[in-house]
């Protein structure tokens, strides 16, 4: 469950902004009369992909640390006692 939640938390901003960014770039290319090949030759694709991987890695690390803490305790006992250890 932690993996699915981490994927949704990290993937949602990327999946929302990616089509928006593609639409804006397409509009800007049409308005500037710049060839798409010229733009993509100079586009910073590697830093963008690296940034997305850093986002996923950071969220995955945070959820791993949370899972490690939850994995150590008896969850049924904590929920029954109503106090956190």
pLDDT digits (tens, 9 = 90+) for 26-61: 999 999 988 989 998 998 999 999 998 999 899 989
Cut 0.85: pTM above it = no
Whole-number mean pLDDT of the chain?
86
Q: What is the dihedral of CA 22, 27, 30, 33, to 10 degrees?
A: -90
> For residue 75, what are its two tokens?
């969850």
Q: Using CA atoms, how far apart are residues 78 and 76, in angstroms rounded to an integer?
A: 6
């Amino acid at each position: 469950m932690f993996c699915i939640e981490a994927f949704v938390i990290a993937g949602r901003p990327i999946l929302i902004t990616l089509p928006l960014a593609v639409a804006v770039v397409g509009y800007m290319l049409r308005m500037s009369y710049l060839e798409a090949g010229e733009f993509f030759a100079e586009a910073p694709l590697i830093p963008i992909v690296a940034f997305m991987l850093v986002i996923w890695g950071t969220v995955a690390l945070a959820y791993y640390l949370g899972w490690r803490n939850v994995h150590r305790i008896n969850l049924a006992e904590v929920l029954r006692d109503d106090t956190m250890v």
